[in-house]
């Protein structure tokens, strides 16, 4: 550690002896300052030697580029809400019944068309004439009743959620059913009238499937 030189005390010169004492004090002060300077020089040299030894031990280094990114483990996949899906399927089965009498629930006509109360007859007419472009379709032909009901419900719900207005539902003509009765087609009628998203539906034109398909108009998606 460096030692600060002591300040000389004021000294009155009154004789030759006093003068000698002053000279002695001056010499002592000069010696102390010289020692302090030498001490500081020694500490600086030791510091340089220490840095040199460290650099020699470490060797040549190169600064890493600053890329601003951090390597993290990928996030685990979101868990599949199995119970939620099961609950939705159960609610769908309970909400859509196979036993609903369409003729007593809502008005239908002899041309197998349907429109909700308050919806004008021109809506069904425009559906028959192909005024609404079919944006999506689903084929239920060949599915078991439970599969067809759940598949149709999920299809209608998702199409409405995406803002789709017009879809086609293929049911088949029932020619392969026992007695060649259109069992699935009749059930689809019952299921559709129970869906709040459905505004109207009509039997498809021959080019679009005829008696084996329905053209369905969905409610417009309400803004959030």
| Cβ–Cβ < 8 Å for 183, 177 | yes
Average pLDDT, the chain: 78
Order of strands, sheet of 136-139, starting from the edge strand that comes earlier in the sequence: 114-115, 198-203, 213-218, 166-170, 136-139
Q: Which tokens belong to 190?
A: 């019952």
Q: What is the mean pLDDT of residues 146-161?
A: 94
User: 104 pLDDT band (50/70/90 cuts)?
Assistant: very low
Q: Where are the alpha helices (DSSP H) in 12-101?
A: 16-58, 82-95
Q: Which tokens belong to 46?
A: 């030791």
Length of the chain: 224
Give the DSSP H or E segment for 188: helix 183-193
| Cβ–Cβ < 8 Å for 209, 112 | no
Q: Is the pLDDT of residue 196 over 50?
A: yes
Tell me which of 82-91, 109-118, 188-197 is least confident.
82-91
Q: Could you say which DSSP state residue 60 is in?
A: -
pLDDT at residue 50 in the model = 78
For residues 188 and 84, the model is more confident at 188
| Cβ–Cβ < 8 Å for 184, 148 | yes
Q: What is the mean pLDDT of residues 122-134?
A: 91
Task: Tell me the CA end-to-end span of the chain in Å, nearest whole number.
Answer: 76
- What pTM does this model have? 0.53
For the stretch 51-99, pLDDT in tens is 777 677 766 777 776 666 666 666 777 776 666 665 565 555 545 555 5
């Amino acid at each position: 550690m460096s030692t600060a030189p002591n300040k000389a005390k004021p000294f009155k010169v009154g004789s030759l002896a006093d003068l000698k004492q002053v000279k002695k004090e001056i010499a002592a002060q000069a010696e102390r300052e010289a020692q302090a300077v030498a001490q500081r020089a020694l500490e600086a040299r030791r510091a340089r030697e220490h840095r040199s030894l460290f650099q020699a031990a470490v060797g040549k280094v190169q600064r890493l580029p600053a890329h601003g990114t951090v390597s993290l483990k990928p996030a685990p996949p979101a868990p599949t809400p199995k119970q939620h899906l099961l609950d939705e399927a159960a609610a769908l089965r309970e909400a859509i019944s196979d036993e609903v009498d369409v003729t007593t629930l809502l008005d239908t006509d002899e041309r197998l068309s349907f429109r909700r109360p308050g919806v004008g007859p021109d809506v069904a007419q425009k559906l028959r004439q192909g005024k609404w472009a079919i944006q999506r379709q689903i084929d239920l032909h060949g599915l078991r009743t439970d599969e067809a009901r759940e598949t149709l419900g999920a299809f209608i719900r998702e199409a409405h959620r995406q803002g789709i207005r017009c879809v086609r539902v293929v049911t088949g003509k029932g020619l392969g059913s026992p007695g060649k009765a259109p069992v699935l087609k009749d059930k689809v009628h019952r299921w559709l009238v129970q869906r709040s998203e459905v505004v109207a539906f009509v039997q498809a034109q021959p080019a679009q499937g005829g008696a084996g398909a329905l053209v369905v108009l969905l409610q417009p998606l309400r803004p959030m």
